[in-house]
Amino acid sequence: MSSTIDRETLEHLAKLARVELDEDEKEKLLKDLGNILGHFKALEELDTTNVAPMTGGTDLKNVFRGDRERENTDRGAGVEAFPKSKDGFLEVPAVFE
C-alpha cells in the first residue's frame, strides 16, 4: 500500500509539531500513516447513498431549559440576612490589598 504522505511532508509536520524523529522513526511513521490513510481510502469506496446523515451518534436531546424573558428580581432581597451590607449591597472582605 503506497503512502500519500511522503518523507518531505512528514518532516514538515514533525517540524511544525516540534518533534525530532530519527530515520527509523520516520520510516515507521511513513508506513503507519500509509496504513491508516489506506483504511480511509477503503471507506471512501463504500456506497453511502442510502445512509441517512447523523450528528453525534445519539438521539439524546438538549436537557437545558430554553432562554425566556422573566421579570426583574428584587436586587435588595436577602441583603438584611447578610452579615454586612452597605448602601443596599453586600459587603465582603477584601481579597486583594
Among 32-36, 63-67, 85-89, the range with the most confident prediction by mean pLDDT is: 32-36
Say which residue the cell 500500500 belongs to.
Answer: 1
- The answer to the question of residue 34 being in a domain is yes
- The answer to the question of residue 25 being in a domain is yes
Tell me what pLDDT residue 57 has. Answer: 72
Dump pLDDT digits (tens) for 25-39.
999 999 999 999 999
Among 49-53, 56-60, 71-75, the range with the most confident prediction by mean pLDDT is: 49-53
Cβ neighbours of residue 75 closer than 8 Å, sequence gap 6 or more: 88
Tell me the mean pLDDT in the region 63-82.
Answer: 79
- The answer to the question of residue 15 being in a domain is yes
Quote the domain boundaries for residue 31. Answer: 7-44
Which CATH number covers residue 18? 1.10.20
- The answer to the question of residue 21 being in a domain is yes
Q: What is the count of structural domains for the chain?
A: 1
Residue 40 and residue 45: Cα distance in Å, rounded? Answer: 9
